[in-house]
Structure 1
Amino acid sequence: MNDKTLLTRLVHSGRHSPVEGGIPVNPPVVRMSTVLFDSVAHMQDIRARRGSERLLSYGARGNVTGFALEDLITELEGGYRTRLFPTGLAAIAQMFIALLEPGDHLLIGDSVYDPVRNFARHFFDRFGIRYDYFAADGHDLEEKILPSTRMIYLECPGSVVYELCDLPKIAAIARPRGILVAADNSWGAGVLYRPLALGADISVSAATKYLGGHADVMMGAATCTEALWPRLGACCDAMGVAVSPDDSWLVLRGARSLAARLQMHQEHALQVAKWLQNHEAVEAVFCPALPEHPGHALWRRDFSGTNGLISVSLKDRSRQTAADVIDRLELFGIGASWGGFESLATLSEMTAIRSVTDWRECPAVIRLHIGLEDPSALIADLARTLALVPRRAKAEAL
């Protein structure tokens, strides 16, 4: 074989290997950038239709594995179509860019994921978009609507302390005024909560979390109504938004066990939450499934369960005490994400992530993600470290 033949064979061999038989349980990973066509006319036809149809035309416009994940998320969320993003925050940012214009006014729930606040500070002012925050439970929403209000963006339950808002009521306020309603559904993962069915126009989520479920992939998703799809899809195409087929496959794999994992997270989290409620060092436990939680009635009405997230405030309200408790834990990793199989703990400073509600009386909150470990072992770990808190407080008093 001469060098020229070798070079040609290296390029063209092994690219098409049809095999007779059945089909795999999961869609295969299809890595691609270039897409080949039968003719110039075929290529032109596909490109002419890809703005309104989901077609394989180029890697930046989606891939076979990603399309399979889009279909799964669309089915969960009950929407028209889904677009995938490299991260959950990217999905949120792209949604704003696609649906808002200079001169528009945006209302943001006080309990949103804190990086959304950072995006607002760095993006909206530069592009002439005005924004205000409304209370996490939505009680002051209507009075803050302006003639230029074009979108209401919320997270329910809220980040860290899980405030509940009445999404159907908010949608009923927004719809006659032509205001879009967007919801972050990372907490509900398309299973526990379905914003589109409750009146939202678009649902965004971090598939990094419960959908992926294994703390090994980054992914975001936005699912919307048919009316919004042309604007969202066109903006994503114009900006070259694309995700890796390998990452899409990882999320697909994780999603197969989503319902079973959420059931375990719920059972474990409720055991830990109820134990914490009775601990002498604990001031409050935040979990929407607890009857004492503010808005619990809304949770019972609109949700089909809870997940592994709970948060705790201590009677000793100092930031250092909360940090010390986290540092002493052995089975809980210290990490900012959640939704994987593992238990995590992190410190949230409420006065930095709320601007409407006053949290100065409860400045430091410990957020726990209860994983799939034996809950009795997690409780023993918490008992060991929390036992030191009253003793420390008593010693300081002396």
Structure 2
Amino acid sequence: RMGVAVDYFDPLQPEQVEAGMRPETRIVYLESPGSLTFEVTDVKRVAEIAHTRGALVVFDNTWATPLFFKPYEHGVDVTVHAATKYLGGHSDLMMGIVTSTPEIHPRLRQGVQDLGMSTSPEDCWLVLRALRTLEVRLQRHMASGIRIAQWLQERPEVARVLHPALPDDPGHALWQRDFKGASGLFGLVLKPCSREAVAAMLNGMKLFGMGWSWGGYESLLIPTFPQKTRSATEWQVEGPCLRIHVGLEAPEDLITDLEAGFARLGAAA
């Protein structure tokens, strides 16, 4: 309706950005890691390509937050955050935040005013309050998330863990170069099993809830279907995919919950 055309590119192939640029291209939009399959993009390289062709780079930094990734040091012009997630952190608000370089800010501010967007004083207060504990929360999310990801790698039901902080992840080298930490959100691919077996696992979880948002204090576990939404690439794996958000609960309790879930999966299979 707004007269905007969109083309998609493989986040692991920056040269596709260059090949896909049109004379009228104005924005290259990135999210890294991707929030379903967690590919890590060479943001700096993409920004160089975009700027050479006169386009701005808009980057979704929700996964890493400003503590673990510094987008403006990598050539980004505009950063967006789902403040609903880690910046809020307590699963009690819905908010988006946009920041930019000083050069872009007047246009950004004018656009927000023209569209009439605003947020409530209470939601602003909740985010300001939560920012005071962001660092300590993220350190816990990261430590627990990596511990559980490593535990999942050893499970016989798991074919692959999608977490860029793991040394054998395809995106690990880029993550290590560009990021200062990892959040509690990552994915896993199960070995082939039935839909009913996955349902038996998920429906009986005690600590892991089911919800599409993430970044709050509670742990979440949902099925994902990347193959249904891919356009630039194909998602080719043999087993079902899950996305896990490791919250602030004791990791030992979360592992116990997952162990029971895998037992239900095995029994159903």
TM-score normalised by L of structure 1: 0.65
For structure 1, list consecutive stretches of 5 or more residues without a partner in the other structure: 1-125, 394-398
For 2:199 and 2:43, the matched residues in 1 are separated by: 34
Match of 2:160 among 284, 303, 311: 284
Structure-to-structure mapping, 1:1-398, within 5 angstroms: 126-139=1-14, 140-362=16-238, 364-393=240-269
Structure 1 residue 367: Cα displacement:
0.8
Q: Give the deviation of 1:353 after TM superposition.
A: 2.6
Output the amino acid matched with 2:258. L
Instruction: State the SS of the aligned residue for 2:68.
Output: coil
User: Does the 8 Å contact 1:349/1:363 carry over to 2?
Assistant: no
The separation in 2 between residues aligned to 1:187 and 1:307, in whole angstroms, is 6
AA of the residue aligned to 1:133? Y
CA contact (8 A) 1:314 1:322 kept: no
| Structure possessing the higher radius of gyration over alpha carbons | 1
Amino acid of the structure 2 residue aligned with 1:200: V
Unmatched tracts of structure 2, length 5 or more: none
Cα pair distance change 1:172/1:315, threshold 3 Å: same
Residues 285 and 312 in structure 1, CA contact (< 8 A), matched pair in contact too: yes
Matched position secondary structure for 1:138? coil
Alpha-carbon distance between aligned partners in 2 of 1:241 and 1:127, rounded to the nearest angstrom: 17
Q: CA deviation at 1:392?
A: 3.8
CA distance in 2 between counterparts of 1:254 and 1:247 reads: 11
Cα displacement string for residues 336-371 of structure 1 (whole angstroms, at most 9, x for unaligned residues): 111111111111111123222212435731111111
- Structure 2 CA distance for aligned equivalents of residues 185 and 362 of structure 1: 30
Closer, same or farther: CA 245–322 of 1 in aligned 2, 3 Å: same
Shift of the 193–318 alpha-carbon distance from structure 1 to 2, 3 Å rule, reads farther
> Alignment length, in residue pairs?
268
Q: C-alpha separation between the residues in 2 aligned to 1:301 and 1:253?
A: 31
Q: Distance in 2 between matches of 1:320 and 1:236?
A: 46
Contact 1:350 1:363 in 2 (8 A): no
Percent identity, please: 44
Structure 2 letter corresponding to 1:172? E
